[in-house]
Structure 1
C-alpha cells in the first residue's frame, strides 16, 4: 500500500492510503483501444456495453453446456437427445443502458438460464432498489425522481407499481404462514392509518400482533386492516392465528378495549391477561392536574416496580392515601390491581417486559416512520406491501433476553 499526505481542514497533514491499481484495468484499457475507436467518454460506455453483452452471452452458453451435458464445440456422441436450437434476441436494461443479447435455446425448451432468467428485462438491480425505497416509505413520485437522477431514464408510476406488485405472493405467504405452537409473551394492539375510501380519505384500524418466542426472538405474527377496532374483529384474528398453529400463549399484554379480554379467553382460556400499564397510566392521569403528572407517575411506578408483592401492597396503600383527593385516578389502579399482582409471578426483567406494551408500541413507531410519508393508501395491498418490506428490515435483529423457563399453560 502506497501512502501520501493530504491537507486536513485544520491545515495539518494527514497520511492517506493510495489505492493500488488493479493490473486487470490496464489490460482492459489496452483491449478497448486496440478493438474500439475511443474518442469520447460515450465511446468508452458503448464499448463497455458491447463487452458486457458478450460476457453475459458467454455465461449463458456455459449454462447451456452444463444443462445439455456437453460443450458447444463437442462433436462426439452426447448422452442426451436434447440439442442446441439457435438463439433468441432479447433486450435488457443494464447500468450502461439497453443492451441486445443473443440467448441460446435448446430443442426441448427445458433450459432455464440463471444469469439472465426467462422474462427478465433488467440486470441493473433497479428492482431491488425500487423495493428498498418503497420499503423506506418513499412515495412513487420520489422513487421515479431518484431513478431518473441516478440512471438517467424515466420510470413511470405504472412501472413502480408493477415492480412492487411482484412481492404480493410473498406478502400473502407471510400473512398465512404457519406459526410456532407456543409463545410465552404476545402483545396485541391497533394503530390507525389513513386510507382512501368511497367517501374520500379516512382512518382505518391496523391490527398488529407481536410475539416473543421461547428463544427470546420477537416475531410479527400478523397484521390485519379493518374499518375500526372492536372485540369481534379481534376474536376472528385470534381464531386465525390459532388455525395457523399457535396452540398456547402464556401472557397476553393488551389495552382496555371493551370485550377484548373475553374475546381472548374464548380462544385461549388458560392465558394470563395483563393490562398494559402505560394505558392505565394514561387513563388515570386524565383525572389529575397536569402539574401533578410527574409526581403521580413516580409514586405508582414505585408500586409496580417494587422488589416483591408484599412491598408493592405496602406502597400501594401509601399511594392511595397520598392521592385520596383524586379518587377517580386511584380507582383506575384499584380496579386493575390484579394486573399488578400478576407481575410478581416472574423475575424483574420479565416483569419489565410484561408491564408495558412498549414492545408493540415500539413496533408501531417503526411502522409510522414509513406509513406517515405515504399519505392515504389507495387500497389494502398497497399498505400491506409496505408493512411487509418494513418488517423484513426490523424483525431480524430483534431479540429479548429471557432468563426464566416458560412452559405452555396446557403443560
Structure 2
C-alpha cells in the first residue's frame, strides 16, 4: 500500500494545501480524502451486491437497481465527514465499510473509550471532541460507547483462572457512588494473584454489600468456581471475617497480615517526636531471624513503650498468628510475601484516575472505569522480583501443593 502511493500522487493531493489545518483539520484534505475513499468503497460494495457496474444494465433485464444516495455524517478522528451512502431499490444492500445506522468511523469509539479510561467525564469528552475534532458527540452517545466496556468487564470478571496461585493479595479502595439521594462510600476489593511463573494478574473486583465472613465467603467461592483450586499464601490488610472464610474454602492457605499496614496502624497512635524511634523498634520485630527472635523483640518493645503506647503491643499480640507466617521464609523472599505494596501501587493508579470525578452515578459506572484503569495498569507490570528464590522456598514449605510442571 505504501509503494502504491507514489510521491507524484502525494504531491498532486497536496497541491494548494499549505497549512496543517488545510491538511488534517476539519474539512481539510484528509477529511475530503476519507469521504472520497469511503464513497468509492461503498459504491464498489453495491456493485458487488447488484452484480453490475454503474451505468450498465442489470443482468437479465429488470431487477434490483441503484436508488440514489442517502446523506450521512460520519464522526472520525479528523472531524465530521459528510458522505453520500448508496442505496438499492429493494433495500437488501448491507454495506460493511460503513454499516447502516453507523455514525462513527472505525477508531472513533476507541478514542472515546481511551479518554474515559483516563478519568475524563462524559462532559469532558464531549467538550474535547468538539474542540479538537470539531465533532459533535452527545453525552448519551458517549455513554452508549463506554457501556460496551461493561460487557468486557463482566466477561473479564468471570474468566477462568489458573489452578494454583502461590500468592494472592487482597486490599480495598473506597469509591463514592450515588445511592438514591445520597452519595455513599463503597468498598471495592481487588485481588491480585501471582502465578507459578511469577506473573501478576488482577483476578477480579468486588463491591462489598454484606459484612465480614459472609462477603468473603462469596468472593472465595467465586474464585473456586472459576478454577482456583489452591492458594498458598494470602496477604491481607486485617480484613474482618476473612480468616474464617478462607479456612472454609481453602483450609490449607496461610493468611499473612500485611506488615506495612500493621506498622501504619501502630504509628497512628504515636506523635511525631517518637515516631522514628518507635518505627525503628518495630522494625526489629519483623526483621528478626525467626519467630522466637521476633517474640523476644516484641517483649522488649512492650517493656520500652507500653507505658506510653500500650495499644501498639496489644495489637501485635492480638494479630500475632497472622503476622509471623512470613518469618518461615528466607530473608530475601519475605518481602514478596509480607506486603500488599503490589496492590497498593495499583490502587494509587486508580485513585489518580477517579479523583477528579467526585462520585459515580451507579456501581456499573464505577465498574467500567475501574476495569479500564486495571487493564491499562497491567500493560506496564513486570514479573515479581527474585521469583526463582521465592518459588524454591515455596517448594520446600508447601511441597506437592505446587504443580510439578513449573
Scaled by the length of structure 1, what TM-score is found? 0.78
Q: Deviations over 1:354-401 (max 9, x none)?
A: 212222222221211122211221111111110111111101222323
Superposed displacement of residue 241, structure 1: 1.3
Superposed displacement of residue 214, structure 1: 1.5
In the alignment, is residue 144 of structure 1 matched against residue 129 of structure 2? no
1:130–1:163 Cα contact (<8 Å) kept: yes
Q: Specify every segment of 5 or more residues in structure 1 that has no aligned partner in the other structure, as ranges.
A: 1-20, 34-39, 76-82
Calculate the aligned-residue CA RMSD, in Å. 3.6
Taking the aligned partners of 1:158 and 1:129, their CA distance within structure 2 comes to 16
2:258–2:323 Cα contact (<8 Å) kept: no
- In structure 1, the partner of 2:60 is none
Taking the aligned partners of 1:110 and 1:312, their CA distance within structure 2 comes to 77
2:194 counterpart (212, 234, 238): 212
- In structure 1, the partner of 2:378 is 395
Structure 1 residue matching 2:178: 3-state secondary structure: strand
Taking the aligned partners of 1:175 and 1:112, their CA distance within structure 2 comes to 35
Q: Deviations over 1:308-349 (max 9, x none)?
A: 556545544443433343433212223333344311222334
Scaled by the length of structure 2, what TM-score is found? 0.79
In the alignment, is residue 361 of structure 1 matched against residue 348 of structure 2? no
How many residue pairs align between the two structures? 374
Taking the aligned partners of 1:53 and 1:140, their CA distance within structure 2 comes to 28
Superposed displacement of residue 287, structure 1: 4.5
Deviates more, 1:83-92 or 1:344-353: 83-92
2:98–2:105 Cα contact (<8 Å) kept: yes
- In structure 1, the partner of 2:14 is 29
Change (3 A) 1:86 1:304: farther
2:286–2:294 Cα contact (<8 Å) kept: yes
Taking the aligned partners of 1:85 and 1:295, their CA distance within structure 2 comes to 88
Written as runs of structure 1 = structure 2, the 5 A alignment for 1:279-290 is 279-290=261-272
Superposed displacement of residue 23, structure 1: 5.1
From the two aligned structures, give the one with the greater helix fraction.
2
Written as runs of structure 1 = structure 2, the 5 A alignment for 1:172-183 is 172-183=154-165
Taking the aligned partners of 1:277 and 1:258, their CA distance within structure 2 comes to 16
1:270–1:410 Cα contact (<8 Å) kept: no
Q: Deviations over 1:212-246 (max 9, x none)?
A: 11222221111122346532112111111111111
2:94–2:100 Cα contact (<8 Å) kept: no
Superposed displacement of residue 132, structure 1: 1.2
- In structure 2, the partner of 1:163 is 145
Written as runs of structure 1 = structure 2, the 5 A alignment for 1:245-256 is 245-256=227-238
Deviates more, 1:278-287 or 1:164-173: 278-287
2:248 counterpart (228, 247, 266): 266
Taking the aligned partners of 1:134 and 1:44, their CA distance within structure 2 comes to 23
Taking the aligned partners of 1:340 and 1:127, their CA distance within structure 2 comes to 48
2:39–2:84 Cα contact (<8 Å) kept: yes
